[in-house]
Structure 1
Amino acid sequence: MGYHPSYLDHFLKTQNFILRGDGPLPYDYRHFIAIMAAGRHQCSYLISLQKQEFLLQGGDPNWLKGLNHIPAKLRNLNDINKVLAHRPWLLSKSHIEKLTKGNDSWSLAELIHAIVILTHFHSLSSFVFSCGLNQELDHVAGYQFYNENTAPNSMAKGSKTKPKDIPMVDTSIEWKNCPNTPPSPTEPEVAISTLMQRMKSLSEQHHECKPEELAKRFENIETQSAEIGAVGSQPLRAPADIGCYVDDATFAYIDFAKRGDLQDTPTFRVQDYSWDDHGYSLVNRLYSDVGNLLDDKFRTAYNLTYYTMGGRKDVDTSRFRMAIWYYIQCLFGIRHDDYDYGEINALLERSLKAFIKSATCYPNRVTKKDYDKVLREFHHSEKVHVNLMVLESRMQAELLYALRTVNRYMTN
C-alpha cells in the first residue's frame, strides 16, 4: 500500500480506529473477530498478525485453540461472518434478530462495530492474496515482519497514522525498480494503446440508453461473470491451525446469477439504498466517527489517479477504474442504475475479469503467479491500485447489504 501514500493514510487511520479507538467492543473481541473474518478465506498472514495482537491486548490464550473455546456471544457471529464473506445477499433480518435478542445478545452498536471489522478483514484478505503476500509469508525468502525499532523509514516510530505495535511489511526491497512483467506469447493481452483508444471512443459517444437497455446490459454482465472460472485450482482443506477458526468451511461463494429463487434475492439497486444517502449516516449513528473514516477511504480509492497507464502520461483513467469498481459490486448482485454495464466488456478483458472475480470471491486461490500474469504492461503500483479497488469496492458491497438489513430490522 506504500505505493499509494494518500490511500495508506486513510487505511491506517481506519484500521487503527476500529481495532484501537473508541468503540463499544472490548479489544480482545475486536482482534478475535478479525481472526474469524480472515479465517473465512484461510488468510494465514492476517490470522498470524491478529493472534499476536489478541495476546498483546490481554486476550485469553485458550480462545486461540478455536471456536469451541470462545464465549457463546462471539460464536454466535459465525452465521453472519460466513454469509457476509461469501453470499452477502442472503443476510436477513432474522440474522440480526438472533444476535440482538435472548442470551448473550449484542447491542446494535456492538453489532455494527463487529460488522465493520468483519467486512474490513474479509476484503483485506482479498488484497493480501491478490498481491501474493500470503504465499510469500510461507517462503524462507518471503516478506518479513518488522517491529517498531526496525520498521522501514516510511513507517518509523513517530509516524502519526501508524497503529502502535502493528507489524509493518516492507515490500520495497523486492519490488523496487522491478521491470514490468514481459508479455507472454501464448496469452495475448489487450495492449494499453488499444485500451486507451476504447476509453477515448466511449467518452466521445453521447447517445443515451433507455433504462430497460441499461438493466439488460447489467444482466448480461452478471450472466457472463457466472461463466468465468476462478484462477488457480480448488484450494486444499484449511490447515488445522486455521480450520479451528472456521465454521462450515464448505460454505463458499456462488455466482449471483445462479442464486436460486429470484424473488427472495432480487438485484440490489443502489438507487434504493446507497452508501452516500443511507449507509454512511446509519453507521455513523450507531458507531460514532467510523462513517467519516470509511467514507474518506472509499472516496480515496475510487478517485485515486495519477493520470498514468503503463508509463503513458496524461491519461484519463476514470472509465477504466469505474468499470473495475462496478464489476466487483456486480459480482455481489449490486446494480448502479445510471451506469452503462456495456463499458465493462469494452474495457475489461476476460483474463482481468477472472483475476478480479477470484480476488473478490475466492481470494485464497490467487497466487503471486496469477498477479504476475495479469495486466502485464502495467506497473506494479498500478496493479496494486487495482487490488485496492477490489478491497474497497468489495467492502462497500458487504457493508451495503449489512446496513440495509440492520435498517430494515430497526424500522419494522
Structure 2
Amino acid sequence: MVTENIICVCCQVVPVDTEDEQTKLLFMEAFIQNNRVPNIIQLMSYHPDYLDCFLKTQHYLLHEDGPLPFDYRHYISIMACGRHQCSYLIKLQAQEFLLHGGNPEWLKGIDYVPQKLKDFLEINKILAHRPWLITKEHIEKLIAGKNRWSLSELTHALILCTHFHALSTFVFGCGLNDEIDFQNGHTFSSNHVDNDDSYSSDSSSLSDSANNSDEEGGLSALMARMKELTERKEEELTIEERLKDFAKVESQSAEITTSQKIPSPRADILRYVEDPNFTYKDFAKRDSVTEIPSFRAQDYSWEEHGFSLANRLYNEIGTLLDDKFNMAYNLTYYTMGNNTQVDTSSFRKAIWSYIHCMYGIRHDDYNYGEVNQLLERNLKAYIKTVTCYPERLTKKDYDGVMKEFKHSEKVHVNLMLLEARMQAELLYALRAVMKYMT
C-alpha cells in the first residue's frame, strides 16, 4: 500500500470536538470494539451519524452472533483486503484474527488455510473486480462441494467481502496512513511511486484533467447546474432515450484511463492473494453483451429483493446495511464549499448512479444525462480510480479534484463511493444466491 503518495486527511484536520457528546460516545464504542480508535474511525468522525451506522454494522459482522466462526470472519476480511493491496486493513484484521484465537500459521498465506477457505478465493476475486461474472454455479460449487458452506455461512462471507473491498477504496481514497504503532506507521517508504509521473500522458487520464474544474467554472458552475436540474421539470424520456444515455455514460467511462504504473504488491500482501493479475475490466468491454446484459435494478433491487434475502439468511444484517446505505446516500448539511442552503441531492444521485453504471447496473428511472452535466471528467476519473483501482491513487489525484470542497465534504464523497460500490457488489452476489435457491 503506497500510503505516502496519498494525502492523509486524518493527520490534517480531524474534527474531534471534545464537547460533542455523540462523537465521544462513538469513540468509546470504537475503542471497546478495536482496543484503539483507528485512524479510519477518526476520519469518519467528520460524519458522526454515518459513523454510528458503520460501527454497528462492522461490529455485527465481526463480533456478534453469526454463521461464521470468528477466526474465519477475520481471515476472510484479510483475503478481501488483499485484492486491493490494502495493508492498512490487513494489519488491523490480522491483529483481530490472533486476538480471536486464529491459527498463526494461517497468516503465512493462503497455502496454510483449510480447503474450505481456499475454495472461497475464486468468488472473492471475481466479486472484488468483476462481480457481473458471478453466477449461481459459483454458489452451487461452494454449497455442494466437499467442504460445504451453508447458505447462511456463504451469505455472511459474501457480505464481509463486499464490506472490506469497499472499505479498502475508502482507505486509499482518503489516504489513510498506518496506525502509529504499526511498522512504518506515519513514515515514508523508499519504494513510493513518483507523484510527478504517476499517470500516463493519455488525454483521458486523471492527471491530465487536473484543472478541469477550474476550466468548467468550478463550484459555482456546478451549483448552477444542480439548481437548474432541481428546478427544471423532470424530462419525459423514452426508454430508448434512457438506454442511449446509459450506454453513452458507460462507454465514456471505459475511455477514461488510470495510472499505467501499477504498484507492485508486496510479498506480505501477495501471500493472501490468488491470481493478482486479475483486476477490474470495464463492463462496457465485457466479452458478450448477450451473455452478460446490463443489470436492471428494477429486476433485482436492494430495496425489493436484496434487503429481505440478506435478512432471511443472516438475521438483521439487511436492516443494518440498509441504514448504512441510506445514511451515506441521504447525508447532507446543505453546504458545498463555503456555500450554504445548497440542495446537493442531484449531485449525490449522480455519483451513486455513475458507480453503479461502471458495474453495469442500470436504473431505468434515472436520467443518465445528468451524470455528464454534474460530474466533470476529472471527477469521473477520480471516482473510477478510487472505486475500481484504489491502490493506484496518488496524492496528486486527491488534490486535483473537488478543489473548492472542504475536507469533510471530500470524505463524504468517499463514503458514497464506498457504499455505492458495496451495494453494487452485493446486488450481484445476492442475485446469484437467489438464482441458486430458485
Alignment TM-score, normalising by the size of structure 1: 0.87
Contact 1:19–1:30 at 8 Å: present in 2 too? yes
Which digits, 9 at most, give the CA deviation of each residue in 1:77-104, with x for residues without a partner? 1111011100000001110011001311
Q: Which position in structure 2 is the counterpart of 1:155? A: none
1:134 Cα shift?
Answer: 4.9
Q: Which position in structure 2 is the counterpart of 1:310? A: 337
Q: Which position in structure 1 is the counterpart of 2:377? A: 350
1:235 Cα shift?
Answer: 1.8
Distance 1:134 1:47 in 2: 13
Distance 2:220 2:143 in 1: 54
1:224 corresponds to 2:252: yes
Change (3 A) 1:331 1:383: same
Q: Which position in structure 2 is the counterpart of 1:167? A: none
Higher mean C-alpha deviation, range 132-141 or range 381-390: 132-141
Distance 1:218 1:185 in 2: 26
Which residue, 91, 103, 106 being the options, matches 1:60?
A: 103
1:209 corresponds to 2:252: no
Change (3 A) 1:34 1:185: closer
Contact 1:88–1:401 at 8 Å: present in 2 too? yes
1:204 Cα shift?
Answer: 2.9
Distance 2:152 2:261 in 1: 38
Distance 1:141 1:363 in 2: 20
Distance 2:185 2:150 in 1: 45
Distance 2:424 2:367 in 1: 19
Q: Which position in structure 1 is the counterpart of 2:67? A: 24
Which digits, 9 at most, give the CA deviation of each residue in 1:250-303, with x for residues without a partner? 101000000011111100000000000000000000000000100000000000
One-letter code of the match for 2:92? Answer: L
1:236 corresponds to 2:263: yes
Match runs of 1:223-302 below 5 Å: 223-230=251-258, 232-302=259-329
Distance 1:141 1:254 in 2: 33
Which residue, 95, 98, 109 being the options, matches 2:152?
A: 109
1:371 Cα shift?
Answer: 1.3
One-letter code of the match for 1:188? Answer: D
1:311 Cα shift?
Answer: 1.1
Distance 1:213 1:236 in 2: 40
1:133 Cα shift?
Answer: 1.1
1:370 Cα shift?
Answer: 1.6
1:45 corresponds to 2:72: no
Higher mean C-alpha deviation, range 248-257 or range 134-143: 134-143
The residue matched to 2:85 in structure 1 has which SS? Answer: coil
Change (3 A) 1:189 1:59: farther
Distance 1:322 1:350 in 2: 17
1:188 corresponds to 2:193: no
Change (3 A) 1:23 1:185: closer
Contact 2:310–2:317 at 8 Å: present in 1 too? yes
Q: Which position in structure 2 is the counterpart of 1:78? A: 121
Distance 1:276 1:43 in 2: 30
The residue matched to 2:335 in structure 1 has which SS? Answer: coil
Change (3 A) 1:189 1:123: farther
1:233 Cα shift?
Answer: 3.8
Match runs of 1:148-159 below 5 Å: none
Q: Which position in structure 2 is the counterpart of 1:339? A: 366
Distance 2:359 2:225 in 1: 26
1:385 Cα shift?
Answer: 0.4
1:136 Cα shift?
Answer: 8.9
The unaligned stretches of length 5 or more in structure 1 are 144-182
The residue matched to 2:214 in structure 1 has which SS? Answer: coil
Distance 1:3 1:139 in 2: 26
Distance 1:184 1:300 in 2: 30
Which residue, 57, 77, 87 being the options, matches 1:14?
A: 57
Distance 1:409 1:244 in 2: 31
1:88 corresponds to 2:131: yes
1:385 corresponds to 2:412: yes
Distance 1:309 1:96 in 2: 44
Higher mean C-alpha deviation, range 359-368 or range 106-115: 359-368
Which digits, 9 at most, give the CA deviation of each residue in 1:340-374, with x for residues without a partner? 00000000001100000000000100123321221
Contact 1:129–1:135 at 8 Å: present in 2 too? no
The residue matched to 1:122 in structure 2 has which SS? Answer: helix
1:213 Cα shift?
Answer: 0.3
1:4 Cα shift?
Answer: 0.3
Q: Which position in structure 2 is the counterpart of 1:401? A: 428
Distance 2:254 2:166 in 1: 21
Higher mean C-alpha deviation, range 325-334 or range 202-211: 202-211
Distance 2:101 2:143 in 1: 26
Q: CA RMSD in A?
A: 1.8
1:7 Cα shift?
Answer: 0.1
Change (3 A) 1:185 1:75: closer
One-letter code of the match for 1:77? Answer: F
1:330 corresponds to 2:373: no
